[in-house]
Structure 1
């Protein structure tokens, strides 16, 4: 029988792997993939449009933030790659929010469905909200991203009148794994995890439902 210490080490490694695989920076990419792959009208967008949107988000909201981390570490703005300190998160969050604003501005100018524009704008609103709340409380950004993806699938299902059972099941299971992983790693308490989830869920959900 496996001893308790070894089991705990395995669970910790799994929690770290889940945290990396579902890093908040990847959330817009996962969201746009969900939109493109669901059996709705978005699944029939020209490949060139899908590729352009994917590249814009990949460069602005994944590559640029990650590429800035070594500089922030070199300048001692952050002391670890995971940026667990609340105060150290302020500058990366501010930069990320500015980049989301730029992405939203770029995509709004392109002739793409309004739902996609609203999704990107909603992500910007969530990022701005997280940055503001971080001045007082270190909420879980991973959980915020998980909640936002769950809201995206639900709103997409209602607005497109298309039951998205499998995507919904996947995001719910993923959300459970993400929230559990953040608690397992002791980087957040339950209140911070749940606040993050509900901020992402209701933040993106309300923006996409009403706009």
Structure 2
């Protein structure tokens, strides 16, 4: 059980959530988007949101700015979160623009707001759960997409809720967060996506 709970934190790492949101969008959107464009977007996003953060992490570890991938202290979180903000801004400027795919654009705007909120809390010495921020934001994006496109994705939503519970259990089991930090993570993840709905729904 210990190995399973530990593996959950890796399998559903926050790095993968933006890309999952984009994959879900392209798979369920009724709009016609040329396959070449979809592939180009996915490759670009994979490089920027997964590969680049991993490389930056190893750089920070080499420089002694972080001690482990868990970022156990609020001080360790500050630089990675700042760098992640810049990565998302690049995505918004170069990869996902409002004139191309407005739903994904505001999805990433929500991610940027959540990241900035998490950064502010880290500066204030509060360690909100980034795992819960990521999965909660993804869940709210799925909900709004289902309404926007009038598609039934109840099974997907139920699965994401189960995953949210599994992640929360994993983080508690590993003593990575308190209940307050997990709840704050859910709040920070969901609220920006919800606030931005009127701009594209």
User: What TM-score results when the alignment is normalised by the length of structure 2?
Assistant: 0.92
Q: Structure 1 CA distance, aligned partners of 2:133 and 2:63?
A: 28
Match of 2:173 among 161, 176, 184: 184
Match of 1:119 among 107, 132, 153: 107
The structure whose Rg is larger is: 1
Match of 1:103 among 53, 78, 91: 91
User: What TM-score results when the alignment is normalised by the length of structure 1?
Assistant: 0.88
Q: Structure 1 CA distance, aligned partners of 2:21 and 2:129?
A: 19
Following superposition, the deviation at residue 112 of structure 1 comes to: 2.3
Q: Structure 2 CA distance, aligned partners of 1:143 and 1:209?
A: 24
Unpaired segments of 5 or more residues in structure 1? 1-10
Preserved contact between residue 182 and residue 188 of structure 1 (Cα < 8 Å): yes
Q: Which residue of 2 aligns with 1:135?
A: 123
Q: Structure 1 CA distance, aligned partners of 2:173 and 2:139?
A: 21
Q: Structure 1 CA distance, aligned partners of 2:134 and 2:97?
A: 25
Q: How many residues were matched structurally?
A: 199
SS of the residue aligned with 1:134? helix
Following superposition, the deviation at residue 37 of structure 1 comes to: 1.7
RMSD: 1.6
Q: How does 1:11-50 map to 2 (within 5 A)?
A: 11-38=1-28, 40-42=29-31, 44-50=32-38
Q: Which moved more, 1:179-188 or 1:116-125?
A: 116-125
